[in-house]
């Protein structure tokens, strides 16, 4: 059986596959799903404030559109939990709480206008990147566990998060960052 060289070099620390490994991975998978559904629900509550505080019309629209997408992502996760026969109750996600707190302080420290908009984009992109990392892992876990339908649903959300991130970058490059710099 062929193995990559860098796997072999770590053989002293290698965790041997046990019969319970799949069970352990499934448990981790469910835990991380509970984390992300909490995070998405927290976002549904937080995004309207972000949109209200944005000045640039295209940024406001982008956030409002992503709010609708996020609401649908919560529904998609509920479906994932149903398919897995698990409760969709979330577990507090400290990472998302921290990211949202950071977004809050940007609103406190800035006045309405291009600089605040740049701050909102910055906070939003950190959130999107957290989601991209989370869903990337979840898709991989679902595939390893043979949960193909679940993997497909999570992949749809992953694609949406990547689109949201790209949209934010576009908004930043095309208007806001330049205006923010000119305000100096
Ligand atoms: Fe999301
Ligand atoms: Fe998102």
127 CA to middle of ligand 2, Å?
Answer: 7
Tell me how far apart the alpha carbons of residues 171 and 156 are, in angstroms, rounded to a whole number.
Answer: 23
Q: What is the pLDDT of residues 109-167, one digit of tens each?
A: 999 999 999 999 999 999 999 999 999 999 999 999 999 999 999 999 999 999 999 99
**The pLDDT value given to residue 3:** 41
**The pLDDT value given to residue 158:** 98
Tell me how far apart the alpha carbons of residues 70 and 173 are, in angstroms, rounded to a whole number.
Answer: 24
Ligand 1 ion: nearby residues, β-carbon < 5 Å: 40, 70, 73, 131
49 CA to middle of ligand 1, Å?
Answer: 16
Provide the 10 A C-beta neighbour count for residue 141: 20
27 CA to middle of ligand 2, Å?
Answer: 24
18 CA to middle of ligand 2, Å?
Answer: 36
What is the DSSP secondary structure assignment for residue 147, as one 8-state letter?
-
Q: What is the pLDDT of residues 58-100, one digit of tens each?
A: 999 999 999 999 999 999 999 999 999 999 999 999 999 999 9
Q: What is the pLDDT of residues 97-122, one digit of tens each?
A: 999 999 999 999 999 999 999 999 99
CATH of domain 22-182: 1.20.1260.10
Is pLDDT at 12 greater than 70 in this prediction? no
Tell me how far apart the alpha carbons of residues 156 and 154 are, in angstroms, rounded to a whole number.
Answer: 5
**The pLDDT value given to residue 184:** 59
Sequence-ordered alpha helix ranges (H) in the chain: 5-8, 21-53, 57-84, 94-109, 114-144, 148-171, 177-182
Tell me how far apart the alpha carbons of residues 159 and 162 are, in angstroms, rounded to a whole number.
Answer: 5
Domain extents in the chain: 22-182
Q: Residue with structure tokens 């193909």?
A: 148
14 CA to middle of ligand 1, Å?
Answer: 34
Mean of per-residue pLDDT scores for the chain: 90
Tell me how far apart the alpha carbons of residues 181 and 184 are, in angstroms, rounded to a whole number.
Answer: 6
């Amino acid at each position: 059986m062929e193995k990559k060289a860098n796997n072999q070099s770590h053989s002293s620390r290698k965790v041997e596959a046990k019969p319970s490994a799949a069970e352990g991975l499934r448990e981790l998978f469910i835990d991380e799903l509970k984390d992300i559904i909490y995070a998405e629900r927290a976002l549904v509550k937080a995004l309207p404030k972000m949109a209200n505080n944005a000045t640039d019309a295209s940024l406001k629209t982008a956030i409002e559109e992503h709010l609708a997408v996020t609401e649908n992502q919560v529904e998609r996760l509920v479906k994932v939990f149903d398919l897995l026969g698990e409760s969709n109750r979330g577990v507090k996600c400290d990472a998302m709480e921290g990211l949202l707190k950071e977004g809050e302080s940007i609103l406190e420290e800035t006045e309405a206008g291009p600089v605040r908009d740049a701050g909102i984009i910055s906070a939003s992109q950190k959130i999107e990147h957290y989601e991209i990392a989370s869903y990337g892992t979840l898709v991989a876990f679902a595939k390893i566990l043979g949960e193909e339908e679940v993997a497909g649903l999570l992949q749809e959300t992953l694609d949406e998060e990547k689109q949201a991130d790209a949209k934010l970058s576009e908004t930043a490059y095309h208007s806001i960052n330049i205006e923010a710099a000119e305000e100096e």
